[in-house]
Amino acid sequence: MKGRHVRYFFGKIGLFFVTLWAAITVNFILPRMMPGSPADAAIAKLSQNGPVTPEVRASIEAQLGMPKGNLLSQYWQYLGDVVHLNFGVSYSNFPQNVSDLVGAALPWTLTLVGLVTIISFIIGTALGALMAWKRGTAVDVTGTISSSFLSAFPSFWLALMLLFFLGYKAGIFPTSGAYSSTAIPNFSMDFISDAVEHSILPALTILLTSLGSYVMGMRNTMINTLGDDYVTFAEANGLRQRTVMLKYAARNALLPNLTSFGLVLGGVVGGSLLVEQVFNYPGVGLLLYQAVTNQDYPLMQAIFLMITISVLVANFIVDILYGVLDPRTRR
Amino acid sequence: MTNSIVSTGMQTSAQGDGNDPQGPQVRTARGQNPVLRALEVIGKGFRTVWEVPKARFGLILLALIVLSTLFAPWLSPYDPKAGDFEASIGPSAQHWLGTTSNGQDVLSQLLWGGRVSVMVAMVSGLLSTCIAVLVGLSWGYIRSFAGEFVGFIVNLFLVIPSLPLMIIIAAYLQNGGMSVIILVIVLTGWAWGSRVLRSQTQSLRSRDFVTAAAFSGDSSWRIIFHEIFPNMLSLIINNFFGAATSGALSEAGLEFLGLGDSTTVSWGTMLYWAQNNNVILTGQWALLLAPGLMVALLAVSMTFINFGVDRLSNPRLREGKA
Amino acid sequence: MMELLRVENLSVEYDSPDQEPVKAVEDVSFSLDQGEFVGLVGESGSGKSTLGFAVTRLSKPPARISKGRVLFGGKDITTLSQEELRRQRCGGFAMVLQSGMNALNPVRTVRKHFVDIYKAHGNVEKKDYEAHSRQLVEKVGLQDSVLNAYPGELSGGMRQRVSISLALALEPKLMVFDEPTTALDVLVQHEVMGTIRELQKQEGFTAILISHDLGVVLESTQRVLVMHNGRIVEDAPSERILTDPQDDYTKMLLSHYGDPRAEHVSVPGLKPRDEAAASGSVGGTPSQADDEEDMTVTVTGVSKIYPARKRGEDSVTAVNNVTFTLSPGQSLALVGASGSGKSTIAKMLTGVERPTSGNITLGGRRVDQMKRRKDLRSLRSDIQMIFQDPYSALNPLHTVEYTLTRPILNYTDLRGDDARRRMLELLDTVGLTPVEQYAAKLPHQLSGGQRQRVVIARALASNPHVLVADEPVSMLDMTLRAGILALLDDLRVRLNVSMLYITHDLLSARLITDSIMVLNKGTVVERGQTAQVLQHPENDYTIKLLDAIPSLRTQA
């Protein structure tokens, strides 16, 4: 029995690395499939700022492709660059390294999106469970309708609305950035409270737009588990309503919902990129926007790779959690 | 002679096999024409969807949006691109929703702009559903190593965040216009449907009627399209509306980032220009609110229709008292 | 004796959004004395389960108690609030569900299930939780190590035993068993029923056994309520039901039971078999077919081994060195419990799966080596299959006409009007008249028995020489089985096809087959003429199978 459980986790770890490799390879293939030569364009742009060193040229060509080069050797160089986080120099933020730029932006996004997503999943799951339990009542109907509306809102539009009404009109919240322009980033209480204040609007936007799918996902799976025999049997045995709701119906509905959490995550991350742009929040979303508008291809590719890896890691954690929560993986 | 006794015996027992649940008034003529029968099935399905109040709301809303964009040439008061008016004015009797900073009428832009958004949503929904059906059916029907491989690819597309992928592809294909937008939406949007349809295919193919069709001499091709496919129709429709919804949202997002053709008028580009011209500071809320609200309503209408479509495929979700 | 339960004029309706509510239980009254063991018998749709759920107040929408009272210990439980009802369940009424397989929460251990009950009712002190649970699982014949197990780690029979012990944890005065063994394998069924009977005697609770199987009920209970169309049509001691049934429906039900061990067996609608004249050999060596068409099926030394699913698991030998012949016109029964390999043999005969070793021939063609679609197609024009579940064997979206026309177009040269005539002829053959009317119907407009007739008609469309019938009546009500069995038997004789009849039901095997093979874990353990084998079984396994059949004698 133990052995099988271990096998589940090793299987997941193996799958994670294979998927990681595949994602890194997609990142390698993508620019090579594009018309024109992204590498030449990037190097041409870089050279406007000054001479391009051979190392930078090599890493850009490994990343974006050199039409006549040897694909295999480029691939090897590219894999090496990825391992050493060597993505060349940014053109739009010359002369900073791409990896430094991404490294500076990533923590902001990871903290904001990571925390909000977890909060959103918890609130959404709880609400969905409650709605399924009280199916057909006012709670359920209002919940269903409002979550359908919320998940239909374009995230960036909701961001604009909140920014306009709560930020500019009402003036309750700061309108731009992750902290006040006068503040110096450190771990003091002052700075943290300033940062939290700045993150409320973006967080609220991400929360509201991602909540709907978790609510509806949980509601629908729990309606299914409520019809299962073990729930009827639990009722026949006179278990407490709370026990039936939480430990029988909701506990079983949580498992499929957890899987969809991982899959919805990609969408949430995508939506939050646009939200960052609206609020001028210094995460990877804003950086990606700048890279795209300036056609800074090396930066763009590196950001895409980092976002993908983050989502893969999150999914991997979800898989592991699933294995812990479901005894059937031990068989 | 014993045979004849048995056969009369069993013929009477066939009548007694149970009451005809539909009553005796079964029409013979209608059952024979496949076109009529298909229409009958579609009509019945539509009625089931229509009976769900939420879905009815969605259908009416979608119809209103589609009609208003179709009739944009007659409904819109001005040319959406003509900047003949005073710039950046608020709502008035002449301009219900005000004008842009280039002096264009916002209401006219809204009506015309819907054409692009609705079209992109529908076409990308349709195309990604087609891919999802093809991949899902074949992936569900074959049981071999190839199936495992397809599964890996689908899962890869599921975990790679789609919007960033769309953004960088669109960035490479600078200003490719509508077709590029549709292409990237379809490219990143088919995987979810494939997964859903594949598991449905697998559950259907284990049903006896599929084996029975093989025993009746039908080819795999015929079994897939005549036995399995029709039984998945409600899921496919569901998938279409789901894909179209995310298509509408993605299109708006890409254009908002300026990755579409910013010279065309669409709800997404309206928001792009509104943001670029800082209408947030000038306080023209209508210019900001209206296009986004339209995208939201388009998405809402299709989400609500799916409440009805769900009822076709999942009996436990049928609306009812708890 | 003290009265425990009194049901007065109880009606249960199913609400439906656009139609009149459907009455599932209508004006039912009965009462139970303490310690009584009562059976509630009826066919599908009779309302017996609905009644069971209503009596324990477990009815869920759209079902609704529309009229009447349920007095438990003199107190009307139909008006109790949810919380009062919940408390009442301890020391009150418990229910064991039909699908015991799914009655346990897959993510909780068995121990936690017990603790949940103790916590909810406080009937056991915390320090006694462990001892009490151990005692209960031992009572139902399980080892206390099951307490650590998750439901998924237990077999179906074990899970049903756990459900029973959980219900016992409530210390109920009344236990309702809703088809407690239906989902289980024949032999396991027999054992679990034995446990239930013992427990009832030992613990002395009042029990209601809901079942579609009059045999099971008569074997266990002292009194029987017969339900038909939502009403109780007969309420009498088991003895009297057997010897002197009053209601016509009860009489009809009874007439469909028989003991496969008896010297003469008959049920209405089926001619008694001329068993002396039973033909065909099932000897260990394939006999030379002397038929002019040579449509003999020979199976020689066939084994099927499924490779291990995962590393570390063993490969499964589903069929082990099986040899038999099936000559034209012969009917051969293949019996055994589930997992005995009988369905695997059917799959290999029809070319769905290929044997690991051994060979199978039909009229000189090697079935086991068929690969190409063309060969399989020609094989299937000669050998056809009748499926177990008539609800799954017909595509819900196709009319009967479409379903029957496909094999006609694929296997015969008939086209257009000729094909249609043939289709109608097939409907007539299986007794679905008026044929025009049935041709236009969709499966949901047909009853289970009618569907099974369509399935049989489809199998006949290619004029096959061999029919493989895989449990063709096990999903049907007892009273419908005879009709289908009679049809199969008649067709076999009339069309001179041979039939391999796969079943776990020895009575039906006795009724329509000449020869029999008993399969245990993939190996043939006994074979011979059906009547001979069933009356004088030699193998232990055959004897066990026969013993598992409830005899129509009451326990009293």
Measured from the Cβ of residue B21, the count of other Cβ atoms closer than 10 Å reads: 9
Measured from the Cβ of residue C305, the count of other Cβ atoms closer than 10 Å reads: 15
Asked if domains C3-255 and C297-390+464-547 share a fold, the reply is: yes
- Tell me whether residue B300 is exposed, middle or buried, using C-beta atoms within 10 angstroms of its C-beta: 0 to 12, 13 to 18, 19 or more: buried
Indicate the residue of A3, A237, A243 with minimum beta-carbon distance to C166: A237
Mean of the per-residue pLDDT values of chain A: 86
Please say if the pLDDT value at position B10 is more than 80.
no
Distance of CA A326 to the CA centre of its chain: 24
Please say if the pLDDT value at position A284 is more than 60.
yes
Task: Give the three-class secondary structure for C127.
Answer: helix
What is the Cα–Cα distance from A150 to B300, expressed in whole angstroms? 9
> For the ranges A30-34, A318-322, C85-89, C275-279, which has the lowest average pLDDT?
C275-279
Contact A154 B249 (CB under 8 A): yes
pLDDT attached to residue B12: 32
pLDDT attached to residue C502: 93
**Percent of chain C residues past pLDDT 70, beyond the cut:** 94
Please say if the pLDDT value at position C112 is more than 90.
yes
Mean pLDDT of B280-303: 86
State pLDDT tens for residues C254-275.
Answer: 888 888 888 778 777 777 776 5
CB B99 within 8 A of CB B89: yes
CA of C302, closest CA in chain A: separation in Å? 32
Contact B2 C393 (CB under 8 A): no
CATH entry, C3-255, from 3.40.50.300, 3.40.50.1980, 3.30.1360.120, 3.40.50.620: 3.40.50.300
CA of C384, closest CA in chain B: separation in Å? 7
pTM across the whole model:
0.85
> For the ranges A160-164, C130-134, C231-235, C284-288, which has the lowest average pLDDT?
C284-288
State pLDDT tens for residues B135-194.
Answer: 998 888 876 677 788 888 888 888 888 888 888 888 888 766 788 889 889 988 899 899
Q: Which of B234, B200, B199, B230 minimizes the C-alpha distance to B306?
A: B234
**Percent of chain B residues past pLDDT 90, beyond the cut:** 22
DSSP code at position B99: B
Task: Give the three-class secondary structure for C43.
Answer: coil
Structural element, H or E, at residue B255: helix B233-256
Residue in A with minimal Cα distance to B316: A224
Residue in B with minimal Cα distance to C388: B208
Chains with ≥3 Cβ pairs under 8 A against A? B, C
pLDDT attached to residue A202: 92
> For the ranges A28-42, A81-95, A255-269, B18-32, which has the lowest average pLDDT?
B18-32
> Which pLDDT band holds residue B22 (cuts at 50, 70, 90)?
very low
State pLDDT tens for residues B229-261.
Answer: 888 888 899 999 999 999 999 999 988 988 877
Where would I find the H helices in C170-284?
A: 186-203, 214-220, 238-243, 248-255
Please say if the pLDDT value at position A203 is more than 90.
yes
Please say if the pLDDT value at position C210 is more than 90.
yes
Tokens of B145: 């190593």
CA of A133, closest CA in chain C: separation in Å? 14
| Higher local confidence (pLDDT), B15 or A258 | A258
- Tell me whether residue C387 is exposed, middle or buried, using C-beta atoms within 10 angstroms of its C-beta: 0 to 12, 13 to 18, 19 or more: buried
| Higher local confidence (pLDDT), C79 or B129 | B129
Long-range contacts of A77-82 (CB under 8 A, 24+ apart): A78/A28, A79/A24, A82/A24, A82/A305
Residue in C with minimal Cα distance to A328: C152
Mean pLDDT of C20-45: 89
**Bond prior to A95 in cis (omega within 30° of 0):** yes
pLDDT attached to residue C287: 43
> Which pLDDT band holds residue B33 (cuts at 50, 70, 90)?
low
Domain locations along chain C:
3-255, 297-390+464-547
What is the Cα–Cα distance from A43 to A296, expressed in whole angstroms? 10
Contact A23 B156 (CB under 8 A): yes
> For the ranges C366-375, C416-425, C468-477, which has the lowest average pLDDT?
C366-375
- Which of B95-104, C14-23, C30-39, C333-342 is predicted most confidently? C30-39
CB C447 within 8 A of CB B18: yes
Give contacts of B204 with chain C, Cβ < 8 Å: none
> Which pLDDT band holds residue C174 (cuts at 50, 70, 90)?
very high
pLDDT attached to residue B5: 32
pLDDT attached to residue C153: 87
CB C458 within 8 A of CB C408: no
pLDDT attached to residue C283: 42
CA of C54, closest CA in chain B: separation in Å? 17
Domain locations along chain A:
2-83, 104-293
Contact B303 A148 (CB under 8 A): yes
pLDDT attached to residue B32: 53
3-state helix, strand, coil in chain B (%, to 5): 75, 0, 25
Tokens of B19: 């009451």
Beta bridge partners of C204: none
CA of A30, closest CA in chain B: separation in Å? 8
For the domain made up of B45-71+108-319, the CATH class stated in words is: mainly alpha
CB C296 within 8 A of CB C363: yes
Indicate the residue of C105, C153, C167 with minimum beta-carbon distance to A248: C105
pLDDT attached to residue C408: 93
Contact B159 A295 (CB under 8 A): no
pLDDT attached to residue A2: 54
DSSP, residue by residue, C321-339 = EEEEEE-TT-EEEEE--TT
State pLDDT tens for residues A26-46.
Answer: 888 888 888 777 788 778 777
Give contacts of B289 with chain A, Cβ < 8 Å: 161
Please say if the pLDDT value at position C326 is more than 60.
yes
CB C56 within 8 A of CB C78: no
Quote the CATH superfamily of domain C297-390+464-547.
Answer: P-loop containing nucleotide triphosphate hydrolases (3.40.50.300)
Please say if the pLDDT value at position B24 is more than 50.
no
What is the Cα–Cα distance from A88 to C497, expressed in whole angstroms? 79
Which strand ranges, in their side-by-side order, compose the sheet holding C466-470? C383-386, C466-470, C498-503, C331-335, C515-520, C523-529
CA of C378, closest CA in chain B: separation in Å? 9
Phi–psi pair at B70, nearest 5 degrees? -60, -40
CB A92 within 8 A of CB A297: no
**Torsion on CA atoms C423, C427, C429, C430, rounded to nearest 10:** 140
What is the Cα–Cα distance from C129 to C136, expressed in whole angstroms? 11
CB C224 within 8 A of CB C39: yes
Contact A271 B281 (CB under 8 A): no
pLDDT attached to residue B17: 43
CA angle A30, A36, A39 (to 5 degrees): 65
State pLDDT tens for residues A93-144.
Answer: 777 888 889 988 999 999 999 999 999 999 999 999 999 999 889 999 999 9
DSSP code at position A89: B
Mean pLDDT of C266-285: 59
CATH (residue range A104-293): 1.10.3720.10
Probe site for chain B from C248, C385, C397 (most B CB atoms < 10 A): C397
| Higher local confidence (pLDDT), C288 or A287 | A287
Beta bridge partners of C333: C501, C516
> For the ranges B126-130, C30-34, C272-276, which has the lowest average pLDDT?
C272-276
Chains with ≥3 Cβ pairs under 8 A against C? A, B
Mean pLDDT of A185-194: 81
Q: Which of C245, C260, C367, C348 minimizes the C-alpha distance to C306?
A: C348
- CB contact burial C50-70 (16+ within 10 A = b; e otherwise): bbbbbbbbbbeeebbbbbbbb
- Tell me whether residue A55 is exposed, middle or buried, using C-beta atoms within 10 angstroms of its C-beta: 0 to 12, 13 to 18, 19 or more: exposed
Please say if the pLDDT value at position C183 is more than 90.
no
Cβ–Cβ contact B10 with C under 8 A:
yes
> For the ranges A194-208, A211-225, C37-51, C363-377, which has the lowest average pLDDT?
C363-377
Domain locations along chain B:
45-71+108-319
